[in-house]
Amino acid sequence: MPDQLAELLYELAMANRICGYEGVIDAFGHVSMRHPSDPGRYFLSRSRSPELVEPADLLEFDLDSQPIVPPTLAMYSERVIHGEIYKARPEVMAVCHHHSPDLLPYCITGERLIPVYHLGSVIGAHVPVWDQRDEFGDTNLLVRKPEEGASLARALGANNMVLMRRHGATVVGNTLRELVFRTIYSCRNAEYQTRAKSVGQVHGLSPGEIKEAGRIHHQPNTLARAWEYWVMRLDKRGGTPPRPARARAAKKPRSGTTAKASKTRRKR
């Protein structure tokens, strides 16, 4: 498990950076992952811009969003978003909170967000809107208290994502890669819905189309294909997170093995 966990944490760092590079997250926002073998814990970066997150930045939390090991650096103030959703949704394995400029117009106006093209079906048939003011009055709009996070989780319900009035959005996934896929393509859907309104009347997908298209997006090959594309784009930019020293060493062949193989080739 240690090697497997290290690889998953590397993917979590990669997920943060991908969402940053693809324009979903800027300096603010965060991506988390539930612990693969302990459902009562999750991993989230220290307070850092997602496009800079490295595996060494990732901290382990319980579902009350308390760190397992007290950190020496600042933590995200809105981490209760993640902990309270993991409490409410046992099947959820990854969460993203962001303030995408494509989605914010829907958070501001209350205009209903609907799936308008096949990849947009990732948002599901219904996207609820959570208004923090309904329960908590005037606030700074940040979700810092456990009761605020729990309220957001209730508004999310069994849906794939929830819009937050005048704030942003929170998205969930049953795997980390599914989460990244849903996060990015829900923003693309919002962009296309907004553009379509300038051309004419917007017609969304039918319930049957949402269901059928959604099945395709859950296929492992679909997620792997998209993940490979985003990793390639990040790597071309030079934005791939560094691997821990131990992981880098494990990937290098042992010198004795290399020398032995070389001698064998010379004999041939």
- Residue positions annotated with a catalytic role: 78
In the structure encoding, which two tokens stand for residue 268, read together? 């041939």
Q: What angle do CA 46, 52, 53 make, to 5 degrees?
A: 40
Q: Where are the alpha helices (DSSP H) in the chain?
A: 2-21, 80-88, 104-109, 132-136, 146-156, 176-199, 207-217, 220-236, 245-251, 255-267
| Whether 44 contacts 82, CB under 8 Å | yes
* Whole-number Å distance between alpha carbons of 12 and 224: 15
Q: Count CA atoms within 13 Å of residue 211 on its CB side.
A: 3
| Whether 30 contacts 76, CB under 8 Å | yes
